[in-house]
Amino acid sequence: MSSYSERARAILPGGVNSPVRAWNGVGGEPVPIVEAHGSRIVDAEGREMIDLVASWGPAILGHAHPTVVAAVKEAAARGLSFGATTEAEVELAELIRERYAPAERVRLVSTGTEATMTAIRLARAATGRHKFIKFAGCYHGHSDALLVAAGSGLATSGVPDSAGVTPGAAQDTIVLPYGDEAALTAAFAEHGSEVAAVITEAAPANMGVVAPPAGFNRLISTLCRNEGAVMILDEVLTGFRAGPAGYWGVERDHDVAADLDPWTPDLVTFGKVIGGGLPVAALGGRRDLMEQLAPLGPVYQAGTLSGNPVAVAAGLATMRLLTDEVHGRVAEAATSLRDGVSGALTAAGITHAVGSAGTLFSIFLGLESAPVTFEQVAGQDTAAFARLFHALRREGVALPPSAYEAWFVSAAHTASDVDHIVATVAAWAQSERDSRG
């Protein structure tokens, strides 16, 4: 164990402040990070690596974009926090609505956890019902009622659900297999009048990336409307990353092209990209629902640092820079990396499947076809993933330390970054094939 990790473990439980940062799923010890610029991240031993973690999503422009850093410095010099409304908050919320029409009203918060927790509270208040439906493998933050069958962090640590969640807190959470239309329809048939909400990741990305089966999000929307429940679309990870209008926008564009009326969520949660690397998240949605939040309505929600001016400056600068052209570059890098890696694995005869949703993707080693349910995802070869993870590290590529995560690409990843990663995967795949005989 290095001196860094000894010191970290002596004060931080598990040596980390968020469990997914530990290397429990791949073995070995993480080295602290000291800086990151563009597509590169540098650790305390001076190793520079091509980064595919992107702070677990926010760094869509690459790290420390000069314009974002300048905006943060400028905002910080004017005061770190006021506890009062600023024009920049209004502008960020307007920008979110401009790009994502279902967010008719927006409440800024600091974490995705707060956004989803508030969404559930609001849906319960608006419907007068208690139960809600979530899907196994979808992660919506760590509030008690949502921490059931919650995907990557728990799956990597080998615990299906968190301890400390009382049966009372979880009793109104109905967990269904993702993508299972029959199970969803049956749950509404059984509990319809008691269901306040269905919450779903717009495209699951916390059990690896899963493409929603065609029509699944639309079915959720239709059932919610027919049964008087609220559809909560969690775009904390996918929002402004899977596409310019999140994964909802990917489906909307598809529906419009197919001459279908796009479906819309009632409430939507954002995080990650909208803070550009600082703590900003948001709840948005139908005006009549959102106006039930305090101080207009009876649903309480608050935050000392909500809409913090420095964090909002980072988010606003990031969102302004995130033009369609920049999204196009993210898409190009993601597509060539995804196809290159998959091609290299195929060439060496390594069984794998690709999960893909907009510009998000992940590789499932050992699976013959792209998974939909968490149960299918859990059939992947996590030991092979750990070998791939370490092979990439040795060649200066930082993958998320878990087989249950996306490979995060940014607009700063160059064609030569992609070539290096693909060549490294190809070399690993050859040696893997040789060692498997």
Catalytic residues: 139, 234, 272
- Which residue's Cβ has the minimum distance to ligand PLP? 112
Give me the residues that bind ligand PLP (CB under 6 A), please: 56, 111-113, 116, 139-141, 201, 206, 234, 236-237, 271, 281
In 177-325 the beta strands, taken as DSSP E runs, fall at 195-201, 230-234, 267-270, 281-285
Strands 40-43 and 360-365: unpaired
Q: Are 424 and 395 in contact (CB under 8 A)?
A: yes
DSSP string, 171-186: TTEEEE-TT-HHHHHH
Q: Between residues 304 and 369, which has the closer beta carbon with respect to ligand PLP?
A: 304
Nearer to ligand PLP, 207 or 391 (CB): 207
User: Which of 150, 289 has the CB closer to ligand PLP?
Assistant: 150
CB of residue 402 vs ligand PLP: minimum separation in angstroms?
12
Rg (CA), the chain: 21
Q: Which is nearer to ligand PLP, 216 or 428 (CB)?
A: 216
**Residue 115 beta carbon to ligand PLP: minimum distance, rounded to whole angstroms:** 7
Q: How far is CA 283 from the centre of its chain?
A: 15
SS3 assignment, position 283: strand
How near is the Cβ of 2 to ligand PLP at its closest, in Å? 27
* 379-398 residues labelled b (16+ CB within 10 A) or e (exposed): ebbbebbbbbbbbbbebebb
Min dist CB 107 to ligand PLP, Å, is 15
In the bound state with ligand PLP, the residue whose beta carbon lies nearer, of 342 and 373, is 373
Token readout for 41 is 């991240």
Q: Are 266 and 289 in contact (CB under 8 A)?
A: yes
- For the CB of residue 398, give the shortest distance to ligand PLP in the complex, in Å: 18
Q: Which helix (H) or strand (E) holds 168?
A: helix 167-170
